[in-house]
């Protein structure tokens, strides 16, 4: 079965769980263990990803692990909803942070967001190897491409 509209709308990341929540939480987490425990927990909020969407078209290249990304542009609200999945637990957590920042926004609003600034604010890249940083950029790049295409449509 492909993803239903409801699955997209039910994604708590970026809706129930807000960017403020994440930024606040990070401020209190000094130890790497705590930060990563939090990132792993965020990853658990990712909704189930439909098996039949794990196809080449939805695959995000440039990550060490397998990453899939699908979207739904909601006609009623004009907002862009995203679902991401990965076979690596930390990547799921990082994807969750990306969704907290970018999910459920009109494409034009999404394109105006400076995600690098957010990562800097969370001090994420200092703790993430360049190879993984590339994977994050690949995910964000694909989301921005989708948003640009939807904004132009």
Partner 1 sequence: MSDLSVANSTLTKAFDVETIRRDFPILTQEINGKPLAYLDNGASAQKPVAVLDAMDRYYREMHSNVHRGAHTLGDRATAAFEGAREVVRGFLNAPSTREIIWTRGTTEAINLVANGLAPRLQAGDEILLSHMEHHANIVPWQMLAERTGAKVVPIQVTPEGELDLDSFNSLLNDRTRILAITHVSNVLGTVNPIAPLIEQAKKRGVITLIDGAQAVPHFKPDVQALGCDFYVFSAHKLFGPTGIGVLYGRAELLEEMPPYQGGGEMIERVSFERTTWNVLPYKFEAGTPAIAEAVGLAAAISYLDQLDRSAMEAAENALLARANALVATVPGMEVLGTAKHKVPVLSFKIAGLHPSDIGTLLDQQGIAIRTGHHCAMPLMDFYGVPGTARASFAFYNTLDEVEKLFTGLQKIQRLFT
Binding site for partner 1 (CB under 8 A): 32-33, 36-37, 40, 64-66, 87-91, 127-129, 132
Least distance from C-beta 89 to partner 1, angstroms?
Answer: 5
Instruction: Quickly tell me which residue has 């990082």 as its tokens.
Output: 94
Q: Which is nearer to partner 1, 7 or 58 (CB)?
A: 58
Q: How many helices (H) and strands (E) does the chain have?
A: 7, 2
* 138: Cα separation from own chain's centroid: 11
Strands (E), the chain: 67-73, 80-86
Least distance from C-beta 37 to partner 1, angstroms?
Answer: 6
What is the C-alpha radius of gyration for the chain, rounded to an integer number of angstroms?
15
Rounded to whole angstroms, the Cα distance separating 56 from 70 reads 11
Least distance from C-beta 106 to partner 1, angstroms?
Answer: 33
Least distance from C-beta 25 to partner 1, angstroms?
Answer: 16
* 94: Cα separation from own chain's centroid: 7
Q: Which is nearer to partner 1, 37 or 112 (CB)?
A: 37
Q: Is residue 66 annotated as a catalytic residue, yes or no?
A: no
How crowded is residue 53: how many other Cβ atoms within 10 Å of its Cβ? Answer: 16
Active-site residue, from 63, 69, 97, 140? 63
Q: Which is nearer to partner 1, 3 or 139 (CB)?
A: 139
Rounded to whole angstroms, the Cα distance separating 28 from 19 reads 15
Q: Which is nearer to partner 1, 18 or 134 (CB)?
A: 134
Residues tagged active-site? 63
């Amino acid at each position: 079965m492909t993803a239903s509209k409801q699955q997209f709308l039910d994604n708590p990341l970026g809706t129930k769980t807000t960017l403020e929540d994440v930024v606040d939480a990070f401020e209190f987490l000094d130890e790497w263990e705590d930060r990563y425990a939090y990132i792993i927990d965020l990853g658990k909020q990712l909704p189930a990803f439909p098996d039949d969407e794990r196809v080449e078209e939805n695959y995000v290249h440039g990550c060490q692990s397998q990453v899939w990304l699908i979207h739904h542009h909601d006609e009623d609200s004009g907002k862009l909803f995203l679902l991401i999945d990965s076979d690596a637990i930390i990547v799921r957590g990082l994807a969750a942070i990306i969704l907290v920042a970018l999910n459920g926004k009109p494409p034009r609003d999404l394109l105006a967001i400076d995600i690098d600034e957010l990562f800097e604010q969370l001090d994420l890249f200092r703790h993430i190897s360049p190879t993984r940083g590339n994977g994050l950029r690949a995910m964000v790049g694909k989301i921005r491409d989708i948003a640009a295409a939807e904004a132009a449509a």
